[in-house]
Structure 1
Amino acid sequence: MQFGLDRFLQDPALRAPLKGQRVALLAHPASVTRELTHALDALAALPDVTLSAAFGPQHGLRGDKQDNMVESPDYLDPTLGIPVFSLYGEVRRPTDAMMASFDVLLVDLQDLGCRIYTFITTLRYVLEAAAQHGKAVWVLDRPNPAGRPIEGLTLREGWESFVGAGPMPMRHGMTMGELGHWFIATLGLTVDYRVITMAGWQPDAAPGFGWPTERSWVNPSPNAANLSMARAYAGTVMLEGTTL
């Protein structure tokens, strides 16, 4: 099985439309290849991709923030010399200046399949900004570790927030690439959008909703330590809203 990132790195034809384009990456600690190379480093090694910026969601591009509500600053990557913008710092939505730094945004975020996981909301915000600024968004798709089961109540209209991106059930059953299509359709956006799909993903396969058993699990956020956590999260996270 191949994730979207690995297919993108191995097939020059998938990258061909990026010729002459300034490319940015939105990623986090789990944005790694099968060999556990971070996506930013892997993309920087490609001679046919021009990296102009990078973005980090909650917890940072490389997972530098352990605490749940600690924000990350913008900084200059010391090796690549490109700006790294935080979408969990002074802003949650990309600014006009951030959007001016690239032509195509690659999104490589491992999700948990739960509505309140903030990477989903960040995807919505960058899609809305891309529609406004005429930018392209590509999602390098990854498996939903909770698989296709759909469970829980649907978020009510008017209750949208950073932990409630839209009218979807708590366990939504979609990949990030599919969520992008859903946001575009639901919000009526006009965006140059494409998904680099996975090869060989079987979400109904045993033993684990299609997560490849030979693939290492890397924490997308500091406390998402394993597949069991990812599959229980849609229920256990509800305890955060109680007095227990």
Structure 2
Amino acid sequence: MNKNTPRVKTGLDVLCDNPPEYLKGRRLGLLANPASITSQFVHAKDVIARLFPRQLCAIFSPQHGFFAEKQDNMIESGHFRDPDLNIPIFSLYSETRIPTADMFDIIDTLVIDIQDVGTRVYTFIYTISYCLETAAGLGKSVVILDRPNPVGGIQVEGNILETDCASFVGRYSIPMRHGMTVGEITAYINTTQKINCDLTVVPMQGWNRDMYWQDTGLVWIPPSPNLPTPVSAMVYPGQVIFEGTNLSEGRGTTLPFEQFGAPFMDIHTIKRCVQDRLKGVVLRPLCFQPTSGKWQNQTCKGVHIHITNKDDYKPYLYSLILLQEIMRAHPNEFTFKAPPYEYEFERLPMDLILGSRDLRKNLENMNDPFELEKAWQVSLHKFKQASKTFYLYNGHGPT
């Protein structure tokens, strides 16, 4: 193998090598964004237009836009026409997050090539789920071109979402870090939610469950503006909870989610309280000044999370510990963010992110996060067992 050849072939690269007969003659749609590229940096829309001439009839885009240019939540994208192919690009983060019958009327099969990040609150899998539902209702088929879970397929972490906290950042009862590829979790949702869409997954080649993004040999293209590197994706399953607070989660800086803080944060007290409980990471004190978002143009005191051992690091549990210590140290300055959040105008954003009102209340009551983690192990084990049915890969290579 050439040293520059990636170890992993994505579903899109597999499609390039062996264009399936079942797509020929079909009117095709494509759900994609800038991360939808081959190992040679060719975009999926150009691949499909070349392999299946005049069959690509519509393109769809998820949150953050087809060009992933929209920075924050609840910033919608408009519909427009692709200037090269002269076909419509429908935004599924616009006046609707659900594809309409009119949008699907011009296609027979929707091809999906989306880079997920393995975290419950990341909205791409829910955009996919709405596409499955619309396709099933209209008798259309869906093909998923699989891509790596950038934070691996071994570690599964967090409480299971409770149904009264369901939203666009969590439609289903899954943990914060689900350990599945986008193709696997799509198949899981299609079956467990009884959507019963005509679904085909094009597997990757060479991906193992113990691989993180850095092991794949693939180039990281940010799937959204605030996940600029594979490391930002690694901390995201935990650090995303700070979106539900008045702390900056690092948006508006060059290290979103890797660093966080606020002008009032007592860095050294927080670090002293947590340093013996967090394994596999170093918290480096720093100051930063966001150019947008919370605390814009104000100096925030905080920490930069440096991962030293990914196998020991538990992003979700550790962020809960950090959150609780900040609440303890700053009872007068710390607040939870008020609605709206992802089109929810009444429920507390933190409850939607955590997927549990009780978990938030337990943290407020200063109950030990390690004990809280023990309490969700039974339901987490049930999810692991159910999700394994849909695994396409094992720890030693594709099955």
- Partners of 1:128 and 1:147 in 2: how far apart? 28
Calculate percent identity across the aligned residue pairs: 46
Q: In the TM superposition, what is the alpha-carbon distance from 1:45 to its structure 2 partner?
A: 1.9
RMSD over equivalenced CA pairs, Å: 1.4
Of the three residues 13, 18, 21, the one matched with 1:6 is 13
TM-score by length of 1: 0.94
Q: How far apart are the structure 2 equivalents of 1:103 and 1:58?
A: 23
1:87 is aligned to: 92
State whether residues 201 and 210 of structure 1, in contact with CA within 8 Å, keep that contact through their aligned partners in structure 2. no
Supply the distance in 2 between the matched residues of 1:210 and 1:49 (Cα, whole angstroms).
37
2:233 matches 1:202: no
Deviations 1:173-200 (A, max 9, x none): 0111111111112111221101000001
2:236 maps to amino acid: Y
| Equivalent residue for 2:116, pick from 78, 99, 111 | 111
Cross-structure match for 1:136: 141
2:159 paired with 1:153: yes
Distance 1:179 1:140 in 2: 12
Amino acid at match of 1:162: F
Shift of 1:158: 2.9
2:222 to 203, 219, 223: 219
**One-letter identity of the residue aligned with 2:176:** M
- Once residues 4 and 178 of structure 1 are traced to their aligned partners in structure 2, the CA distance between those partners, rounded to angstroms, is 12
Counterparts in 2 of 1:117-132, with a 5 A limit?
Answer: 117-132=122-137
Q: Distance in 2 between matches of 1:47 and 1:126?
A: 22
Q: Determine if the alignment matches structure 1 residue 31 to structure 2 residue 40.
A: no
Please identify, of 37-46 and 23-32, the stretch whose mean Cα deviation from structure 2 is larger.
Answer: 37-46
Q: Is residue 72 of structure 1 aligned with residue 72 of structure 2?
A: no
Query: Conserved in 1, the CA contact under 8 Å of 2:129 and 2:189?
Result: yes
Give the counterpart letter for 1:173 in structure 2: G
Contact 2:213 2:230 in 1 (8 A): no
Alignment coverage as a number of residue pairs: 239
Q: Which residue pairs with 2:369 in the alignment?
A: none
SS at match of 1:152: coil
8 Å contact 2:159–2:176 — kept in the other structure? yes
Query: 1:67 Cα deviation (Å)?
Result: 3.7
Give the deviation of 1:165 after TM superposition: 2.1
Structure 2 residue corresponding to 1:166, chosen from 155, 168, 172: 172
Which structure has the bigger radius of gyration?
A: 2
Alpha-carbon deviations, 1:94-114, whole Å to 9, x = none?
011011121000111101100
Q: Quick check: 1:230 aligned with 2:233? A: yes
SS of alignment partner, residue 242 of structure 2: helix
Distance 1:134 1:158, change over 3 A: farther
| Partner SS state of residue 181, structure 1 | helix
Mapped contact 1:18–1:49 kept (Cα < 8 A): no
CA contact (8 A) 1:151 1:169 kept: yes
Among residues 181, 189, 213, which one is paired with 1:183 in the alignment?
Answer: 189
Q: Note the alpha carbon deviations across 1:93-148, whole angstroms, 9 max, x for none.
A: 00110111210001111011000001011011111111111110110000001112
Kindly state the Cα deviation for residue 82 of structure 1 after the two structures are TM-superposed: 0.6
Q: CA deviation at 1:49?
A: 6.5
